[in-house]
Structure 1
Amino acid sequence: MSSVSLIYAHPDDETFLSACLIRQLADAGHPPALLLATRGDAGKKNGAFGHLTGEQLGALREREMNRAAAVLGLSEVVHLGYPDGRLAAAEEREAVERVAAFINRHRSKAVFTFPEDGGNRHPDHMAISRLATKAVLNGQCPAVERLYYVMSDELRQQGRRPALTIDTEPQWQMKAEALRAHASQLLAIERYFGPLDAVPAERRYESFVLAWEQGVHWPEKSEAKAREELHLPSV
């Protein structure tokens, strides 16, 4: 069982968005579980991997994910195996049930996923946000008490404030190691983060908005309380 479930679309989403959150949960004795909707089989490939078929890339990215999981301290990684780039076309009821089954198996009290806009309007990100949100809000996950969204520009424009912010600088070497584990995606990773030798100022923080808590949408919560509930160290 894991008190926290993370629900994302592709291998490497977890490290881009929440590597230090994951490591802090693991170090506190509560390693979270990760559910990925796809194997990332349609992802962009570095030159050395350009010859791979989609099936071969998906298998490679699963292996890369396992290496990153060991760095991060995840308790489990599960791939639903939906086609990369076409998650929005999945049969919704079945997909919601599969997400809910994962959360329920871990009896998770908190779920983290993309915001409704997916952070960058990626259709797979938006689709998994919708599926995870429905699984929680329609009552299929009775143990869940809180639903968190990764902070996005659209949420900021709506006036939403993070309930939880993680400074990645003290753990940057760990996060960079987990990012490097996703070797087939390293060109995209370095476009986003730079050369990984130091934390980029604009990517320093991992921030999360509390979207729902026990029937209340967008509740206000202090950072100290959010950390206490997740068994994270105070700052």
Structure 2
Amino acid sequence: MTHTIGFIYAHPDDETFLSACLIRQLADQGHKTVLLLATKGDAGKKNGDVGHLSNAELAAVRELEMKKAADIMGITHTEYLNYPDGKLNTIDSTEFVDNVVLFINKHQPSVIFTFPEDGGNGHLDHMAISDITSKAVWSERCDSVQKLYYVATNPLLEQGHFPSLFIDTASQWEMKAQALRAHDSQKLAINRYFGDLAVLPENRRYEAFVLGWERGVFWPKKTEQSILDDLI
């Protein structure tokens, strides 16, 4: 059986940083992967040679970069909410949740991935999309969703949660590096996180995810071979 898997993040490149290899594996298995981005990353001018661009111009550049990266990873469909980059915590939460619910119900994913509550690095946009996505899934308006995963972070681990799933990216590093290079406007941030992409940094080797919710149960403690384990 094939499934639709949803990834909901704040900016173009979040999906590549955090889940490129998982996405590619799912695509190679014949599953549909759909991506919702809250913004087009139009404020990310300090991470490449794009400081001279207007916000609208940068948004257009990043949309093209995202398309290239999506093709590399095998993402089936990408949508944007077109909210302003850096201001997600100012968006009306009712409207925000409603728009995420609309996306979910349009594509009927069985599983959703997003940032954890801490946003991974304290970024307010990351924290906002985590909160809104969680509320959308928990709203009982998204009947297709059976599981909600969060990207594993140190704060989650310190709270006693542990990754249900690890993806060793070593065998797929060339693919992930190629997808990261597609986000050329953000190359300085990419370099800070991954280095020059010539080799896989050992501290970035694994993509890890914590199962935060499964069919009404919060933080089920289980180790999985696949995110498809126990899907109905």
Query: Residue 116 of structure 1 contacts residue 129 of structure 1 at CA under 8 Å; is this kept in 2?
Result: yes
Structure-2 residue corresponding to 1:163: 164
Letter paired with 1:198: V
Letter paired with 2:145: V
Superposition RMSD on alpha carbons, in Å?
A: 1.4
1:46-57 map, 5 Å: 46=47, 48-57=49-58
Q: Which stretch shifts more, 102-111 or 167-176?
A: 102-111
What are the superposed Cα offsets for residues 151-175 of structure 1, whole Å, 9 maximum, x if unpaired? Answer: 0110011111111110011000000
Say which SS state the counterpart of residue 49 (structure 1) adopts: coil
Letter paired with 1:88: N
Structure-1 residue corresponding to 2:221: 220
TM-score (norm 2): 0.96
Q: Following the alignment from structure 1 to structure 2, what is the Cα–Cα distance between the partners of residues 42 and 225?
A: 36
Structure-1 residue corresponding to 2:192: 191
Q: Following TM superposition, where does structure 1 have runs of at least 4 consecutive aligned residues deviating by more than 4 angstroms? A: none
Say which SS state the counterpart of residue 88 (structure 1) adopts: helix
Check 1:219–1:35 CA distance in 2 against 1; reply closer, same or farther (3 A cut). same
Matched, 1:100 2:74: no
Residue 138 of structure 1 and its aligned partner are, at CA, apart by: 1.2
Letter paired with 2:165: L
Letter paired with 2:80: H
Higher helix share: 1
Matched, 1:3 2:4: yes
Matched, 1:180 2:181: yes
Letter paired with 2:142: C
Check 1:115–1:87 CA distance in 2 against 1; reply closer, same or farther (3 A cut). same
Matched, 1:69 2:70: yes
| Structure 2: gaps spanning 5 or more residues | none
Q: Following the alignment from structure 1 to structure 2, what is the Cα–Cα distance between the partners of residues 2 and 62?
A: 26
Query: Residue 38 of structure 1 contacts residue 80 of structure 1 at CA under 8 Å; is this kept in 2?
Result: yes
Structure-2 residue corresponding to 1:233: none
Structure-2 residue corresponding to 1:58: 59
Query: Residue 6 of structure 1 contacts residue 111 of structure 1 at CA under 8 Å; is this kept in 2?
Result: yes
Matched, 1:204 2:211: no
Letter paired with 2:155: E
Residue 48 of structure 1 and its aligned partner are, at CA, apart by: 2.9
Q: Following the alignment from structure 2 to structure 1, what is the Cα–Cα distance between the partners of residues 48 and 144?
A: 45
Matched, 1:149 2:138: no
What are the superposed Cα offsets for residues 106-135 of structure 1, whole Å, 9 maximum, x if unpaired? Answer: 111110000011011100000000110000
TM-score (norm 1): 0.94
Query: Residue 48 of structure 2 contacts residue 186 of structure 2 at CA under 8 Å; is this kept in 1?
Result: no
Residue 229 of structure 1 and its aligned partner are, at CA, apart by: 4.9
What are the superposed Cα offsets for residues 12-40 of structure 1, whole Å, 9 maximum, x if unpaired? Answer: 00000000000000000003100000000
Query: Residue 110 of structure 2 contacts residue 146 of structure 2 at CA under 8 Å; is this kept in 1?
Result: yes
Residue 225 of structure 1 and its aligned partner are, at CA, apart by: 5.6
Letter paired with 1:48: D
Residue 47 of structure 1 and its aligned partner are, at CA, apart by: 5.2
Query: Residue 48 of structure 2 contacts residue 184 of structure 2 at CA under 8 Å; is this kept in 1?
Result: no
| Structure 1: gaps spanning 5 or more residues | 231-235
Identity of aligned residues (%): 57
Residue 224 of structure 1 and its aligned partner are, at CA, apart by: 2.3
Residue 221 of structure 1 and its aligned partner are, at CA, apart by: 1.9
Q: Following the alignment from structure 1 to structure 2, what is the Cα–Cα distance between the partners of residues 180 and 140?
A: 37
Structure-1 residue corresponding to 2:32: 31
Q: Following the alignment from structure 1 to structure 2, what is the Cα–Cα distance between the partners of residues 195 and 14?
A: 19
Q: Following the alignment from structure 2 to structure 1, what is the Cα–Cα distance between the partners of residues 3 and 76?
A: 7
